[in-house]
A = this chain, B = another copy of it.
Amino acid sequence: MKIAFLFYEGMTALDAVGPHEILSRLPEASVFRVARRAGPIQTDSQLILTADYSLTDVTSADIVLVPGAGNATTLSDHPETLEWLQSIHATTTWTTSVCTGSLILGAAGILSNLKATTHWAAFDRLKLWKAVPTKARVVEDGKVITAAGVSAGIDMALMLSSKIAGENFAKTMQLGIEYDPKPPFDVGSPEKADPVIREELRSRMVANFIKAPYELSN
């Protein structure tokens, strides 16, 4: 079970680390944290993760996961990343994303005519890549699974674990990370949020998305 996490400068750490905590414990998992160049990767909260492998080191995977980014990224300056995604996708059993990672899958041409989701503030952008924007926390279409914003990656990874290793494994994982969430507020989706807070946040985030070069390349 070969699992590749794509890392890149400016990514959101939690998008990857939530699922990583779960998927890395799948039976016989070999995890490859992959970036354009192996080495330190600064995330959008300044936390530095490490990519153990360069793109050219990893040519196939059973699962690939692409995290999103809150800030502009430099992905499209690096078409080899999108080419790598296209070629790894041809080998996967599951191709997955968290948050705006789906926009990167889109830029790689992977979401064409597929149902998909992304961070709520970027929802409409999915159409740029001919995806069918679908409102759900986790969206599955064929072998492509996309999760909504940031924390949705945890739900996605548990769901995927259940498919791969069975319900009991996934339940053990959920209990292991004591995932019995009690958010202090009931405002975690755009429908539930105060419209003022939502629109202020949306305009701030959309400004970042627009700057994201992987969209300019469309």
Which residues on A are within 8 Å of B, measured CB to CB? 12-14, 17-18, 20-21, 24-25, 31, 33, 40, 45-50, 52, 70, 99, 119-120, 137-138, 148-152, 154-155, 158-159, 162, 167-168, 170-172, 174-185, 187-190, 192-194, 197-198, 200-201, 205
Contact = CB atoms under 8 A, between A and B. Distances in A.
Given A45-B24, A184-B162, A197-B168, A178 B119 contact: yes
A189 B179 CA distance: 7
Given A70-B176, A158-B185, 8 more contacts: A17-B17, A47-B49, A155-B182, A171-B193, A172-B201, A175-B188, A175-B189, A180-B192
Contacts of A180: 137, 183, 188-189, 192
B151 A179 contact: yes
B197 A175 contact: yes
Which of the listed residues A174, A200, A201 has the most CB atoms from chain B within 10 Å of its own CB? A174
Contacts of A194: 168, 171
Given A175-B190, A176-B201, A193-B175, A47 B181 contact: no
Counting from the closest, the 10 A-B pairs by CB-CB distance are: A149-B178, A180-B188, A48-B50, A181-B181, A150-B177, A180-B189, A179-B188, A17-B17, A14-B21, A24-B45
A187 B201 contact: no
B137 A182 contact: yes
Contacts of A205: 176
A189 B178 CA distance: 6
Nearest to A192: B180
